[in-house]
Amino acid sequence: MSDVTDDTAKARISPGLELGRRIRLLREMAGLNQQQLANKVGISRSAVAFWETGRSGHVGKHLGALAEALGVDAEVLLTGMAYKEIQETLTPDESMFLSLYRQLTPLIKLQAQKWIERRVRQAEDEVET
């Protein structure tokens, strides 16, 4: 593998880590410490710390309560942004995939992101061997 590819792989951030960063940022913006957020969601402080470090654990089960405690929509929590129409050129299969993805609930979107991340890692491992 080339150095450029190595740098790209190191720079890639997993969906779990991205979600963890958003949770921490939104928690801090709300003026909450981990314990206060945990109390609002009805979980342990260590669960919040677990999520914030990218190990999403059972975050999906608490997504609604977490979004409410942070004062954002679940979609914003998962994606980091609200919907905005943009012009994009997609292949037919990308367009179909995006259309199907947009029909999913936030919890299923998170599960789909994790599944895709695992498949990409498996493909990368196969190429390396």
As given in the structure block, the two tokens for residue 4 are: 């450029």
CA 18 → CA 6, 25, 55, 63, 81, distances in Å?
20, 11, 10, 15, 12
Provide the 8-state DSSP code for 60: G
Residue type, 31: G
The yes-or-no verdict on residue 32 having pLDDT over 90 is yes
The yes-or-no verdict on residue 39 having pLDDT over 50 is yes
Per-residue model confidence as pLDDT tens digits over 82-99: 555 566 788 899 889 989
Mean pLDDT of the chain: 80
